[in-house]
């Protein structure tokens, strides 16, 4: 993770994630284009453009109500955009081009697309009636991407990877918050997604449990998976992020490397926010 | 704790030498030997008194039941397993089982309609529940009984257009069909609300997680939502089912001789045996409800997986561990 000084900061995800974006011919891992979303009269997303390159770790910061979660949820179409589009690895999400217009896909097609996009919730949302291993194996089995025994073996492997190899048969309620969130991460990994989205993954945790979850996310970052993380953990952003995006009032106020956005913010609103949370 | 023996001062010493004794009275946190630090649980004399009162009252009721000649227990014994009573019981079971199944199926369909995104389906489902919860069951049954007068034949076809199939209503509508249809129509309205409540009780986050994982819609419903919804559906539906067992006694009014019907007609033939016959019916209804309750207990346990950290023991398991403990204690006593 080196900062390319020649690249102008603040334009389309200029922070490199292993490859020089100027020569990288691969499509962007995630591209958000002109995203608008209204909740009633409230303009939650007011024209967001964002590009995250393959292998990059993007951290989205911003005050509460700035539209961070909505933006993240629009990437896997949990939230429908009113205007604009999202594409993941070059493929439009939730919609298809129909002449000049964008038409919504069938639910089945959207569900299939979501297999390529992992999502980790603030409140874990594990299935309480299934064991940790069953939670992890559910998606591969249900989508018939793997046989039952393959899925079970993979679940065991993934649980071991998040440090919970011995908790395969535990029900979520028998686990601590940090353990539950790690199971949720293993579950999101089960379909081998190219992109994983984290919606404030440590906000519901006791302070002493935050570290174990961030550690797992950090490990993931080092494997070259594209990650987009909405969080308030500035230290984590500084350490792991390739790209830091500051969102306020539904627009990207500023983006760049952690050194640029966190240590030398140019916009007064970013400075004000960081002064409050640091 | 270097002290040996009871650290608490003798009562006499406490009153007599309290001025000289620097040790605090036994209300203080003085460290003593382990035995003096054992926490004695609070006693509940009120509970014991209440228990005794209840046991006495129960014994009196039992005594009354056994000794009151009015109950004629010999006649009860005579009627309890008579084939004519068992025939009625069979009808009750048949009507209950069929209505429970059709009612539940109807209820599931109605609940899904109500939760669907189609306003027409929502409205139809709401209207159905509104109508059938408003009409008394007995009225509904009598309506159906006289249905053939209203519509002598039933046809299937295009509304206002040609008819494809035609049934003779009087041939179709036997007493048992009328009973099952009436009870099912009524049951479906209530079951719909039970099922809908159960589905709504599942956290929104579960739907989101299932959708975010890309689980196919059928799988989402069958493996994620339904098992969690059943946790609240089972006790409510069993409640409904027990109500249904008892409402089957109304089919007597559409000339179907169920358990109650048989007992009623036997009662008019043998007026002297009315009370023992009613007791026969009561005991059979109690047996049916008890069976359902036991099944409910185990079904609920099955759907409670993951909802509590450790499962409480079943009464049977409790009894077994209790007996084992008692045996162990007796054996230990015998050894000493």
User: Model confidence over A46-82: pLDDT tens digits?
Assistant: 999 999 999 999 999 999 889 999 999 999 999 999 9
Q: Which residues, at least 6 apart from B129, have a Cβ–Cβ distance to it below 8 Å?
A: B110, B114, B189, B192, B193
The average confidence (pLDDT) of chain A is 89
**Hey, are the CB atoms on B213 and A173 less than 8 Å from each other?**
no
In a domain, B299, yes or no: yes
> Beta partners for A72?
none
Model confidence over B4-29: pLDDT tens digits? 444 444 444 444 444 455 555 555 55
pLDDT digits (tens, 9 = 90+) for A222-238: 998 999 999 999 999 99
DSSP chain A: ----TTSPTTSTT-S-SSS-TTT--SPPSEEEEEEEEEETTEEEEEEEEEEE-TT-EEEEE--TTSSHHHHHHHHTTSS--SEEEEEETTEESSEEEETTEEEEPPHHHHHHHHTTEEEE-TT----TTS-HHHHHHHHHHHTTSS-HHHHHHHHHHHHHHTT-GGGTT--GGGS-HHHHHHHHHHHHHTT--SEEEEESTTTTS-HHHHHHHHHHHHHHHHTT-EEEEE-S-HHHHHHH-SEEEEEETTEEEEEE-HIIIIIS--SHHHHHHHHHH-
And the tokens for B303?
A: 């759907």
Query: Residue A132 is encoded by which pair of tokens?
Result: 């940790």
pLDDT of residue B31: 58
**What would the DSSP string read from start to end of B170-192?**
HHH--HHHHHHHHHHHHHHHHHH
Q: Are A142 and B209 within 8 A, CB to CB? A: no
Cβ–Cβ contacts within 10 Å for residue A93, how many? 23
A129: nearest CB among B208, B215, B306: B306
Mutate to test the interface with A, among B213, B219, B232, B301 (most CBs of A within 10 A): B213
Residue B27, both tokens:
């209300």
Pairing of strands A57-61, A83-88: unpaired
Read off the tokens for A62. Answer: 């911003």
Q: In this structure, is the dihedral angle defined by the CA atoms of residues B182, B183, B185 and B190, taken in order, positive or negative?
A: positive
Residue A206 to residues A29, A49, A177, A203, A233, Cα–Cα distance (Å): 32, 34, 8, 8, 13
pLDDT for the residue A19: 55
Number of domains in chain B: 1
Categorize the per-residue pLDDT at B169 as very low, low, confident or very high, splitting at 50, 70 and 90: low
Whole-angstrom CA distances from A36 to A43, A64, A83, A277, B267 are 8, 18, 5, 27, 77
Residue in B215, B219, B227 closest to A129 by CB: B227
pLDDT value of position A21: 58
Q: Which residue has the tokens 């958000």?
A: A32
In terms of Cα–Cα distance, which of A1, A24, A48, A17 is closest to A248? A48
Confidence of residue B48 (pLDDT cuts 50, 70, 90): very high
The pLDDT value given to residue B304:
82
Asked if residue B147 is part of any domain, the answer here is yes
Q: Mean pLDDT over residues B272-299, rounded?
A: 93
Judged against a pLDDT cut of 60, whether residue B116 lies above it is answered with: yes
Provide the percentage of residues in chain B whose pLDDT is more than 90.
57
Confidence of residue B249 (pLDDT cuts 50, 70, 90): very high
Q: List the single best residue of B214, B217, B302, B311 to mutate versus A (max A Cβ within 10 A).
A: B214
A147 touches B: beta carbon within 8 Å: no
B-contacting residues in A 178-237 (Cβ below 8 Å): 187-188, 191
- Chain A residue with CA closest to B206: the answer is A125
Task: Please list every residue in chain B whose beta carbon sits closer than 8 Å to the beta carbon of residue A113.
Answer: 214
Q: How far is B120 from chain A (nearest CA, A)?
A: 21
For residue B75, the distance in angstroms to the closest alpha carbon of chain A comes to 52
Give the pairing of strands A226-230 and A243-248.
unpaired
Nearest CA-CA partner of A205 in A230, A176, A234: A176
Distance from CA of A62 to the nearest CA of B (A): 23
Residue B38 lies in a domain: no
Convert the pLDDT of each residue in B66-105 to its tens digit: 888 888 888 999 999 999 999 999 999 999 999 999 999 9
Report CB contact under 8 Å: B209, A108. Answer: no
Going by DSSP bridges, is the β-strand pair A83-88/A101-104 parallel, antiparallel, or unpaired? unpaired
Phi, psi (degrees; rounded to nearest 5) at A34: 55, 45
Q: What angle do CA A120, A122, A124 make, to 5 degrees?
A: 65
Residue B180 pLDDT > 50, yes or no?
Answer: yes
pLDDT tier for residue A199 given thresholds of 50, 70 and 90: very high
Residues of B in contact with A119 (CB under 8 A): 212-213
d(CA B245, CA A253): 66
Give the pLDDT score at B301.
87
The answer to whether residue B1 sits within a structural domain is no
When pLDDT is cut at 50, 70 and 90, the band that residue A25 belongs to is confident
Rounded Cα distance, B179 and B163, in Å:
27
Structure tokens, A236: 């984590």
- Closest A-chain CA to B230: A129
| pLDDT average, residue stretch A105-109 | 91
Mean pLDDT of A121-139: 95
Which residues of B have a CB under 8 Å from any CB of A?
A: 203, 205-206, 208-217, 219, 223-224, 227-228, 303, 305-309
Cβ-defined contact of B219 to A142 (cutoff 8 Å): yes
The verdict on residue B331 lying in a domain is: no
**Contact with chain B for residue A119, Cβ under 8 A:** yes
Contact with chain B for residue A61, Cβ under 8 A: no
**Contact (Cβ atoms closer than 8 angstroms) between residue A12 and residue A57:** no
**Cβ-nearest to A142 among B203, B209, B215:** B215
Average pLDDT over residues B124-136: 96
Cross-chain Cβ contact A121/B208 below 8 Å:
yes
- The residue among A110, A111, A118, A199 with the most chain B CBs within 10 A of its CB, best to mutate, is A111
CB distance from A123 to chain B under 8 Å? yes
Q: Determine the residue of chain A that is closest to B219 in CA distance.
A: A142
Integer angstrom CA distances of residue A167 from A47, A141, A159: 44, 20, 8
**Confidence (pLDDT) at B7:** 46
Q: B216: domain range? A: 67-305
- Residue A33 phi, psi dihedral angles, 5° rounding: -130, 115
User: Please, what is the average pLDDT of chain B?
Assistant: 85
Q: What is the DSSP letter of B223?
A: I
Residue numbers in B near A115 (CB within 8 A): 213-214
Torsion of CA A78, A84, A86, A89, to 10 degrees: 160
Q: What is the pLDDT of residues B182-236, one digit of tens each?
A: 999 999 999 999 999 999 999 999 999 999 999 999 999 999 999 999 988 999 9
Residue B105 lies in a domain: yes
The CATH number of residue B150's host domain is 1.10.3720.10
Contact between chains at B223 and A172 (C-beta distance less than 8 A): no
Which pLDDT band, with edges at 50, 70 and 90, does B54 fall under? very high
The answer to whether residues B179 and B248 touch, using CB atoms and an 8 Å cutoff, is yes
With an 8 Å Cβ cutoff, are A129 and B212 in contact? no
Q: Where are the domains of chain A?
A: 123-192
Cβ of A125 and B211 within 8 Å?
no
B215/A107 touch (CB, cutoff 8 Å), yes or no: no
Using the predicted structure, report yes or no on whether residue B158 has a pLDDT greater than 80.
Answer: no
pLDDT at residue A16 is higher than 50: no
| Euclidean distance between CA atoms B250 and B92, whole angstroms | 10
H-run or E-run covering B165: strand B163-168
Residue A94's nearest CA partner among A118, A69, A111 is: A111
- Predicted local distance difference test score (pLDDT) of residue B39: 87
CA distance A182 to A218: 12
pLDDT > 80? residue B329: yes
Provide the 8-state DSSP code for B166.
E
CA of A115, closest CA in chain B: separation in Å? 5
Residue contact B208–A128, C-beta within 8 A: no
What's residue A185's pLDDT? 96
Instruction: Determine, for residues B205 and A121 on separate chains, whether the beta-carbon distance falls below 8 Å.
Output: yes
Structure tokens belonging to residue B158: 């295009």
């Amino acid at each position: 993770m080196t900062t390319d000084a020649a690249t102008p900061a603040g334009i389309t995800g200029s922070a490199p994630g292993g490859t020089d974006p100027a020569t990288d011919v691969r499509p962007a891992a995630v591209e958000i284009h002109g995203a608008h979303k209204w909740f009633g009269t409230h303009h939650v997303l007011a024209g967001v453009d964002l590009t995250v390159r393959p292998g990059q770790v993007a951290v989205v910061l911003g005050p509460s109500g700035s539209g961070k979660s909505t933006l993240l949820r629009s990437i896997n179409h949990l939230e429908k955009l009113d205007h604009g589009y999202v594409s993941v690895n070059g493929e439009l999400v939730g919609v298809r081009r129909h002449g000049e217009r964008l038409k919504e896909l069938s639910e089945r097609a959207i569900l299939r697309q979501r297999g390529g996009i992992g999502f980790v919730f603030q409140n874990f949302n594990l299935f309480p009636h299934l064991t940790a291993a069953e939670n992890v194996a559910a998606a591969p089995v249900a989508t018939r991407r793997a046989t039952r025994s393959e899925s079970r073996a993979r679940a065991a492997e993934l649980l071991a990877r998040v440090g919970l190899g011995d908790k395969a048969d535990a029900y979520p309620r028998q686990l601590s918050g940090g353990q539950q969130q790690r199971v949720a991460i293993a579950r999101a990994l089960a379909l081998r997604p190219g992109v994983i989205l984290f919606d404030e993954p440590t906000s519901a945790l006791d302070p002493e449990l935050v570290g174990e979850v961030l550690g797992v996310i950090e490990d993931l970052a080092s494997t070259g998976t594209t990650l987009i993380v909405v969080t308030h953990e500035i230290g984590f952003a500084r350490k792991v992020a390739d790209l830091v995006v500051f969102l306020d009032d539904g627009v990207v106020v500023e983006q760049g490397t952690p050194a640029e956005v966190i240590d030398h913010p140019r916009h007064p609103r970013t400075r004000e926010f960081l002064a409050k949370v640091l | 704790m270097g002290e040996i023996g009871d650290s608490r001062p003798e009562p006499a010493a406490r009153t007599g030498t309290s001025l000289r004794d620097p040790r605090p009275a036994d209300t203080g946190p003085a460290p003593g030997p382990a035995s003096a630090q054992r926490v004695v649980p609070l006693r509940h004399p009120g509970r014991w008194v209440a228990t005794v009162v209840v046991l006495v009252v129960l014994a009196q009721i039992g005594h009354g039941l056994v000794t009151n000649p009015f109950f004629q227990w010999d006649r009860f014994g005579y009627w309890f397993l008579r084939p004519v009573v068992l025939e009625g019981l069979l009808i009750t079971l048949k009507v209950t089982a069929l209505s429970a199944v059709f009612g539940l199926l109807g209820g599931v369909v109605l609940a899904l309609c109500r939760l669907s995104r189609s306003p027409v389906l929502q409205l139809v489902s709401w209207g159905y529940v509104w109508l059938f919860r408003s009409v008394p069951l007995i009225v509904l049954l009598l309506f159906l009984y006289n249905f053939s007068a209203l519509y002598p034949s039933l046809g299937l076809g295009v509304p206002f257009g040609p008819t494809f199939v035609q049934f003779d209503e009087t041939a179709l509508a036997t007493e048992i069909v009328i009973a099952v249809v009436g009870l099912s129509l009524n049951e479906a309205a209530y079951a719909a609300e039970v099922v809908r409540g159960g589905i709504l009780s599942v956290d929104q986050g579960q739907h989101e997680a299932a959708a975010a994982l890309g689980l196919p819609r059928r799988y989402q419903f069958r493996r994620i939502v339904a098992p969690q919804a059943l946790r609240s559906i089972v006790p409510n539906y069993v409640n409904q089912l027990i109500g249904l067992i008892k409402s089957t006694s109304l089919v007597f009014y559409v000339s179907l001789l169920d358990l109650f019907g048989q007992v009623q007609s036997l009662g008019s033939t043998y007026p002297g045996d009315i009370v023992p016959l009613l007791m026969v019916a009561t005991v059979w209804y109690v047996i049916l409800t008890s069976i359902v309750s036991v099944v409910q207990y185990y079904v609920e346990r099955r759907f409670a997986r993951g909802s509590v950290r450790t499962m409480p023991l079943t009464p049977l398991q409790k009894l077994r561990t209790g007996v084992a403990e008692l045996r162990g204690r007796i054996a230990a006593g015998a050894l000493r």
